[in-house]
Amino acid sequence: MTAERTASPRAAQAAEFVLANSMLRPVPLVPEIRLHLGDDAFSLWEAAERELGAPEQPPPFWAFAWPGGQALARYLLDHPDRVAGRAVLDLGSGSGLAAIAAAMAGASAILASELDPFASAAIELNAAANRVPVAVTGDVLDGAGEDAAVVLAADIWYERGLADRALALLRRARARGADVLAGDVGRAFLPRSVLRELAAYDVPVVAQLEDAAVKRVLVLTLR
């Protein structure tokens, strides 16, 4: 399981942007972990588009501790046997929260998959802040999980095309023997019928993004 990244001239620019537009803070449900977090999602989104001159820039998923990632990170730290000594792939890693938790729980190698250059920069900065090794790669959804023994999927079930591709990968990974762990608040395209609940948490969230201060979040595995 290796990262396949080409050095980008925008990498340093993205890292500078993350540092300038976030503050290193503990995660509410997982205070053992600190992330570079933002305050205003919409202003940050507009600023990212201006920075890259790209009106199609994705939302700043990297700048917030989303509920599924918080729950999955908490679960991994409380149940380190799920990943200890094993290679882990984190799909749609965002801030890298679940990947960092896997590293802290003793995973032998961690690969975070992300497309957004700001998210890739944030993952690297957050991993460094928590003193754990996390490699970053791009789109892996057409594969079978990069030979990882555990595949993580938190907060990726919000768009049908992404959800369909992610579920196909998770099924291929499961078929070759990998464990699959998902964390989600119950978004529209969560494939609940093929998942089994492992744990549930009441997670503090950003009310601006979730229309509530606390959400009930599930950690699940593929049947």
The CATH number for 163's domain is 3.40.50.150
Q: Which domain holds residue 193?
A: 11-222
11 residue type, one letter:
A
Inside any domain, residue 49: yes
Between β-strands 179-184 and 214-222, what pairing exists: parallel, antiparallel or unpaired? antiparallel
Report if residue 6 sits inside a domain: no
| Within-domain flag for 2 | no
Backbone angles phi, psi at 84, to 5 degrees: -55, 130
Is the residue at 5 inside a domain?
Answer: no
Structure tokens at 202: 């009441």
Instruction: Give residue-wise pLDDT tens across range 35-87.
Output: 999 988 778 878 877 876 656 677 888 999 999 999 999 999 999 999 999 99
Cβ atoms within 10 Å of 186's Cβ, excluding its own: 13
pLDDT for 52: 64
Q: Positive or negative, the Cα torsion across 11, 14, 19, 25?
A: negative
pLDDT at 6: 43
**Domains: count for the chain:** 1
Question: Which segments in the chain show pLDDT lower than 70?
Answer: 2-9, 52-56, 208
Angle at 169 between CA 90 and CA 180, to 5 degrees: 55
Whether 62 and 170 have beta carbons less than 8 Å apart is answered as no
pTM for this predicted structure: 0.92
Q: How far apart are CA 119 and CA 15, in angstroms?
A: 9
What pLDDT shows up at residue 3?
58
Q: Is residue 195 within a helix (H) or strand (E), and if so which, with residue range?
A: strand 195-204
Can you give the pLDDT at residue 49? 75
134: which 2 tokens?
């996390």
Q: What pLDDT is recorded for position 189? A: 96
In a domain, 4, yes or no: no
Q: What is the pLDDT of residue 103?
A: 98
* Residue 20 placed within a domain: yes
